[in-house]
A and B are shown apart, each in its own frame.
Chain A
């Protein structure tokens, strides 16, 4: 898991030594368990999220919706809740990037 994080999130974990990173992973795993995430894949995906948005994302007003998706009662399967959250985050970023490009294109044109 530490090598996965170092490979994909160098900016976020670069300043942490292995012991600190392992402690962060352990703390994230405890939260993942509370969300009902059991497989290695799902726990890894949850740690991806906490690495980017922080372990306390559920308490941050701007990220509260992420917590809501992870407890969504209409989706009984925790793994599917997480999958939906990951895809939503990726989609939001895709739309934001496209919109930014459209705005820059519009403002540049004469």
Chain B
């Protein structure tokens, strides 16, 4: 457990001089010339890696990103009113409260502007949807999805949560809010970001909904970093329906089956629109009509699966992926 030792060593490091010039002792009234900002989500959890700028009373600009605790402290700045500006669109951030400074005084912050510019469009990669893009760039999902520049995409895709690789989203001009806040305080803000939803239907061997079944959902980011696991039980209708962070990329779902626990690996956000062959294959796969590879090829097995699905749901069994079949597949699959 290397970081366990790191936590204690990190705290003990505070005994060392924080001044950038070790010959200069820190000013004992430094706390009055500091500001802390903290960003949490709707559930009170820290929001990390969020870019922000602070413009101080003497017009200096400081840029940074929130840390793993959702906070950042700027020391050695001019006393007075500051402008705090997150790189979040209006509606994606709100002020909560100001409280007393918390962290110990550190070294003086370095002025500097944020290096990030705001892009005007985003090309969808595998595993992305409107929620992941909104979270990445600091918008509410609807602010992007309902933007005029995305009208044609809205017509071709039924939902912003099921997009195809290569789809282009136009990003609206961002309007961050300037919050005027005083030094000497810790200012707490809330990011109004949308979670994505993990939904899965579990049934028994007899085809009945699996009610009250214990599960453990382990989540990882694309870079392999672990996210907090989610424990729970399936609902009365057999569904697991839990919010997950937009940056969750892979998961391991553990389900208890009597004395044993079964683990199912899952890639998150990989479901393409049902109008694509790959998207149809994956849905047919999940609905137990198809056993072949999800390779995007309209092969004989896929056609046969489509025919069986069409027969079961009262459509003409053509084996073709027409609009009617694609829409019904999405409806039956619930996505």
Contact with A along B75-109 (1 / 0, CB 8 A): 00000000000000000000000000000001101
Q: Is the CB–CB distance between A42 and B68 below 8 Å?
A: no
Query: Assuming the A-B contacts A40-B16, A103-B229, are A74 and B106 also in contact, with contact meaning beta carbons closer than 8 angstroms in the complex?
Result: no
Residues on the A chain within 8 Å of B4, using CB: 93, 97
CA distance A95 to B64 in the complex (A): 24
Residues on the B chain within 8 Å of A73, using CB: 115-116
* CB interface residues, B 157-211, toward A, < 8 Å: none
Q: Is the CB–CB distance between A39 and B22 below 8 Å?
A: yes
Contact with A along B235-276 (1 / 0, CB 8 A): 000000000000000000010100101000000000000000
Q: Is the CB–CB distance between B214 and A52 below 8 Å?
A: no
Query: Assuming the A-B contacts A42-B107, A99-B229, are A87 and B17 also in contact, with contact meaning beta carbons closer than 8 angstroms in the complex?
Result: no
CA distance A106 to B254 in the complex (A): 9
Q: Is the CB–CB distance between A77 and B112 below 8 Å?
A: yes
Residues on the A chain within 8 Å of B259, using CB: 110
B19, B113, B216, B227: residue with the most chain A Cβ atoms closer than 10 Å: B216
Residues on the A chain within 8 Å of B106, using CB: 41, 79, 83
CA distance A97 to B110 in the complex (A): 35
Instruction: Assess whether B231 is interfacial by the CB under 8 Å rule.
Output: yes
Instruction: Assess whether A19 is interfacial by the CB under 8 Å rule.
Output: no
Query: Assuming the A-B contacts A39-B19, A78-B110, A92-B226, are A106 and B64 also in contact, with contact meaning beta carbons closer than 8 angstroms in the complex?
Result: no
Contact of B226 among A9, A40, A96, A110 (CB under 8 A): A96
Instruction: Assess whether B155 is interfacial by the CB under 8 Å rule.
Output: no
B14, B68, B218, B223: residue with the most chain A Cβ atoms closer than 10 Å: B68
Q: Is the CB–CB distance between B6 and A52 below 8 Å?
A: yes
Interface residues contributed by chain A, number (CB under 8 Å): 49
Interface residues contributed by chain B, number (CB under 8 Å): 55
Q: Closest chain A residue to B215 by CB distance? A: A106
Residues on the B chain within 8 Å of A91, using CB: 48, 68-69
Instruction: Assess whether B156 is interfacial by the CB under 8 Å rule.
Output: no
Instruction: Assess whether A55 is interfacial by the CB under 8 Å rule.
Output: no
Residues on the B chain within 8 Å of A16, using CB: none
Instruction: Assess whether B59 is interfacial by the CB under 8 Å rule.
Output: no
Residues on the A chain within 8 Å of B120, using CB: none
Contact with A along B1-40 (1 / 0, CB 8 A): 1111111111011101111111000000000000000000
CA distance A32 to B243 in the complex (A): 40
Instruction: Assess whether B314 is interfacial by the CB under 8 Å rule.
Output: no
Q: Is the CB–CB distance between B67 and A76 below 8 Å?
A: no
Q: Closest chain B residue to A80 by CB distance? A: B64
Residues on the B chain within 8 Å of A106, using CB: 214, 216, 231, 254, 256, 261
CA distance A110 to B64 in the complex (A): 48
Q: Is the CB–CB distance between B68 and A88 below 8 Å?
A: yes
* CB interface residues, A 10-61, toward B, < 8 Å: 38-45, 48-49, 52-53
Instruction: Assess whether B153 is interfacial by the CB under 8 Å rule.
Output: no
Residues on the B chain within 8 Å of A88, using CB: 48, 67-68
Q: Is the CB–CB distance between B228 and A77 below 8 Å?
A: no
CA distance A7 to B5 in the complex (A): 10
Instruction: Assess whether B326 is interfacial by the CB under 8 Å rule.
Output: no
Q: Is the CB–CB distance between B13 and A79 below 8 Å?
A: no
* CB interface residues, A 69-110, toward B, < 8 Å: 72-80, 83-84, 86-99, 102-103, 106-107, 109-110
Q: Across chains A and B, which 3 residue pairs bring their CB atoms closest together, nearest first?
A: A76-B112, A93-B3, A91-B68
**Beyond known contacts A48-B13, A91-B68: 4 more, CB 8 A cutoff:** A74-B114, A77-B64, A99-B228, A106-B231
